[in-house]
Structures are given as structure tokens and as C-alpha cells.
Amino acid sequence: MIILNFTHPLTAAQQEQLAHLTGRAIAEIRDAPCQFDNAQPFAAQVAAHVDAVGLTSRQWQTAPMLINPPAFAPAVAILIAELHGRMGYFPALIRIRPIAGSAPPQFEIAEIINLQAVRDYARTRR
């Protein structure tokens, strides 16, 4: 599986957690950490970050992947729209949380959120 990482680098422990949670080996991690210029439109900036991961059209549509999104809500909303357009479905996201009581602060994988499954289930409640 490919991990598209739009935020802080994933630790070895986090990578192990992801492999365990998904039951898949991590083939590669493509980093495109996001910094945003508030004076410029976000859609173009997000598209540039997504372009930076360097996947082909075929990979977008067929490769198993997880997304580690940036922590900035407007950017995440645009990122999801951009990825849906390229992939043809909503991606699965990694949710990271702080480990309670850790000093210095440490973070762990909280869950994998399958956005397509969330969308499909939401349609049953229309």
C-alpha cells in the first residue's frame, strides 16, 4: 500500500501500527508536507501538493493507498475533493492522536477512516 503523507513524518511505530491495522505491508510513503499561503487560493495550492506525490493516472485509480491529511480543515476539505476527482472514490484517512501523558508529546494511530464507507452509509439515511 502507498501512504500519501501531507503532514508530519510517520514514525516507525506508527508505520507498524498502520501495517497491523490494515493487514497490508507499506510499499512506500510519499511525503508532500503542506504549507499554505493565506494570500493565495487554496485549491491551486492543494492541487500542487497532490501533484508533488508523483502518481500516474493509473496509480490514482488502482493502487491501494491511505492518506495522512494535513491538520488544517479548509485544506483537508479541498484535498478530499481533489483526491476523489483523481481516484474516483473517497479515500481512507489516517487519524492520529496524542498519547495521553507522554512527555515529550508522542502520537499514535487512532484509526483508519474509510470515507467511501462513511459516504455509502450516509446515503442510507437520506
Contacts of 102 (CB under 8 A, 6+ apart): none
Ramachandran quadrant class, 101 (left: phi over 0; alpha: psi -120 to 50; beta: rest):
left
Confidence (pLDDT) at 34? 85
Amino acid making up residue 122:
A
> Whole-model pTM?
0.92
* CB-CB contact of 105 with 98 (8 Å): yes
Confidence (pLDDT) at 92? 98
Confidence (pLDDT) at 33? 87
* pLDDT single digits (tens) 22-59: 999 999 999 998 889 999 999 999 999 999 999 999 99
- The whole-angstrom distance between residue 42's C-alpha and the CA centroid of its chain comes to 17
